[in-house]
Structure 1
């Protein structure tokens, strides 16, 4: 690819803010915090929890609520999932897709991102589910595309875990199928409701997709008429070479990890160059970093909140998360001794982005003991977790915007309640004062794509997106488009 020229961010660039969640009854990136008196995590199996979060996000003009999800439990640490069950972290997971219609019903403009696996959900079924959500939310939905790295997930579905690159090969084929269903099966003018001629849907404007690839075989008409966006907004988080190529072809938003902006900067520039080479406008792919702040009205208040969080941090549960993400059993290392890991060869059952971020941290000279690492992950995950006033946290975010050219932030809670409320009440006014966030949705009540791109009327895929080639053009029977 050659050297990459640094691309400075736009002056006064405004960014998106998302709430970052999992529908697990317990902790997401805050192992052990459920034990704090008054914590809401044990009530995350009740709908009111999600409705209240949705109302807060909508009122604050948060762009989206993004639900991470996975199958199985982290079982690498000490060869067992016991530590994550005791810690109540990323277990007892609801299906987030069932929550979205209810959350949409009590909101107007906030959008929703949900995770779905290309390895374990058949594309016909996923296409139907996402179209259903797109209809019921009036176009306020995104699909976070994952290939599923966990051996526990493969075991749950009675399959062998495919090698990393092969999972992306399957995912590419999977995307070809769902694009055909969403965009090529029903014409724009298929819906008639013609009471005189008694025609609800014009059968000549619906075609069966006949697909046979290396990994997927399907013959079907899409189950639903065209939804507001047709294709949900496509999120993705792959950071490997094949993951970047996948993002350049398919992603409209990409989730980026890392503790410091320099870890994300190269990846963002590289991904945008790959997208440009593929014929896409790279500025239309939005990159989201994670940041999980602890905010106070004063430094002392913020530090007191951090001390309280540290008191409840479940070190073993957090280390079990790390072991699950990397495939490396940290139970074998003494808690208070410095350690270094061989990060040169990611395992097939590892999140390669997480693996790479820790490798970058070691290369930068960061010194870790298991206890220090566990405390970090238990209080905000392996992401920046600045502790301070709104102005101090805004300084950190501005550094990410300037150095890495991110387009938004996924923000998870540490205190529940508390973190999201502090973001809304303390941080957002400071970000607005600096001109770093939008004052309103581009289209109040509009689709996710319109509000993500800030382009009123852009409800469906842009013309330069790979999936746009599969649009129904009136052929009957269906004629395959030429590959781009």
Structure 2
């Protein structure tokens, strides 16, 4: 077995109260602090705790609409606070970067309803303000309500990725091709801010976007933020193979994860990229206590504050399947939707009676996968087995109760993980990209599609 790289650990969050981590109703737990998530102090405290715990990444998910598929209404989502209020995570990052030194920040931004020119400016600003500690989770929006919020119809799943490909090409042009190396001077002695001969328009004229440029920001520490991709459909894997540096895995079974990552890396090689430079993380929902009895007591406690209706509303929004339209004895119809292509929504998923699905949702859904539920020694052993079987490069911790779940992970599990060489060792200095890359470079590799925009020694750069 090849030598294992140091694992990356991140905390998954959303700038909301009902975090979409598998138990959206647990903000009602007495020890949970998510009702304070509309204020800055909650986030400052959480970011400090995350860095002190030795984590590498603070990752924000995001949505642009209400979950209104369940029962054809947003009523359940509003009643239970399902992924709302959906505040803008980009506005949190500068404040959190100011109270941390090493923690990197990932933010989810959709290519479906954004414009690449404004987007590129925002991320260059973030990259400057964080000293290169920022990553962009590239997503395409699936919620019908989000489309209506922008006065548009829902875009078909694969068509959204076509738009995303062009969106990224425009952004790459602005980040990598608009300002040459050496264009920014900042010289008081020479009384010159920049060399205008090295600042260029990109003059993109495509099917979706027309962007002249030049970019309004001087080159930031990474130029292009670290590119994260969370799609797991066939089209999503193709997109990841072309663009992603870090993949957020949309699967939970180790064998299927390894198969999917092998597929992504095979496709990346076909695009001319070094597949070994693509890393992958997967969600982790642990329940930890010192004894098996204490573990069961904690599960029972969490279960008592769980709402199946809230979770069904969340799942309906993700999958596009409205469970209220099915009788208990009626099988869920195999279907593809324009929502996320997740397990249960894909046509290769065996049909289940709607009643069985509802029964599964009567308990916290993450409890169905009990490999990360138990005493610290038992869970640490399962983490090691999972890494070896799946080939993932790290985990994103999803909290049931905030900050209690993070505290349990830090105090109970991290010491056991360290003993097994499963925590620590991931680089802490420099830009986030330099920590991910084997050559410790701040810049995207020359085999990445963004590199075609580079000028100066690159005869293939547009308008060179």
Query: Could you say which TM-score interval applies, normalised by the shorter chain?
Result: over 0.9
Q: What are the Cα deviations for residues 370-391 of structure 1, in whole angstroms up to 9, with x where unaligned?
A: 03225234x57x9777321122
Select which of 457, 468, 471 maps to 2:451: 468
Deviation per CA, 1:417-449: give whole Å up to 9, x if none: 21011111111111111012333x4242x1111
Q: Hey, what's the Cα distance between the residues in 2 that align with 1:327 and 1:412? A: 23
Secondary structure of the residue that 1:368 maps to in structure 2?
Answer: helix
CA shift, 1:44, in A, is: 0.6
160-169 or 137-146: which moved more?
160-169
Gap regions ≥5 residues in structure 2: none
1:368 corresponds to: 356
Check if 1:178 corresponds to 2:178: no
Name 1:6's counterpart in structure 2: none
Mean alpha-carbon deviation: is it higher for 312-321 or for 420-429?
420-429
CA distance in 2, matches of 1:340, 1:52: 46
Contact 1:292 1:383 in 2 (8 A): no
Residue 303 of structure 1: CA displacement?
Answer: 1.5
Contact 1:325 1:351 in 2 (8 A): yes
Residues 276-291 of structure 1 aligned to structure 2 (within 5 Å): 276-291=269-284
Distance, in Å, in 2 between the alignment partners of 1:39 and 1:287 is: 29
Q: Deviations over 1:394-435 (max 9, x none)?
A: 222223211111111111100122101111111111111101
Query: Is 1:402 matched up with 2:388?
Result: yes
2:12 match: 20
| Cα deviation 1:71-108 (Å, max 9, x = unaligned) | 10110101111111111220111100000001000111
Q: Pick one of 410, 433, 436 that aligns with 1:452.
A: 436
Q: Secondary structure at the match of 2:363?
A: helix
Task: Assess if the C-alpha contact under 8 Å between 2:67 and 2:82 holds in 1.
Answer: no
Q: Could you say if the C-alpha distance between residues 460 and 277 of structure 1 is closer, same or farther in structure 2, counting changes exceeding 3 Å?
A: same
Match for 1:442 among 427, 430, 436? 427
In 1, are the aligned partners of 2:333 and 2:351 still within 8 Å (CA)?
no
- Which moves more between the two structures, 105-114 or 295-304? 295-304
Residues 285 and 398 of structure 2 are in contact (CA less than 8 Å); yes or no, is this contact kept in structure 1? yes
Structure 2 matches for 1:368-387, cutoff 5 A? 368-377=356-365, 386-387=372-373
- Match of residue 92, structure 1, among 74, 79, 85: 85
Structure 1 portions without partners, runs of 5+:
1-8
Following TM superposition, by how much is the alpha carbon of 1:182 offset from its aligned partner in structure 2, in angstroms?
0.2
Q: Counterparts of 1:365 and 1:299 in 2: how far apart (Å)?
A: 33
- Of the structure 1 ranges 147-156 and 392-401, higher mean CA displacement relative to structure 2 is found in 392-401
The Cα offsets for residues 345-368 of structure 1, whole Å up to 9 and x where unpaired, read as: 3112x20134458965x4899993
Give secondary structure in 1 for the equivalent of 2:410.
helix
Q: CA deviation at 1:275?
A: 0.8
Superposed, 1:24-423 pairs within 5 Å as: 24-29=16-21, 30-333=23-326, 337=328, 340-343=331-334, 345-348=335-338, 350-355=339-344, 360=349, 362=350, 368-377=356-365, 386-423=372-409
Q: What is the root-mean-square deviation in Å for CA atoms of aligned residues?
A: 2.4
Query: Aligned partners of 1:284 and 1:374: how far apart in 2?
Result: 41
Please tell me whether the aligned partners of residues 43 and 96 of structure 2 are also in contact (alpha carbons under 8 angstroms): yes
Aligned residues: 462
Question: Aligned equivalents of 1:366 and 1:399: distance in 2?
Answer: 33
Larger CA deviation: 300-309 vs 392-401:
392-401
Name the SS for the 1:269 alignment partner. Answer: helix
Deviates more, 1:447-456 or 1:407-416: 447-456
Deviations 1:317-336 (A, max 9, x none): 100011111111112346xx
Q: CA deviation at 1:228?
A: 0.2
TM-score (norm 2): 0.94
1:464–1:110 Cα change, 3 Å: same
Q: How many angstroms apart in 1 are the aligned matches of 2:54 and 2:117?
A: 33
Q: Is the 8 A contact 1:20 1:67 kept in 2?
A: yes
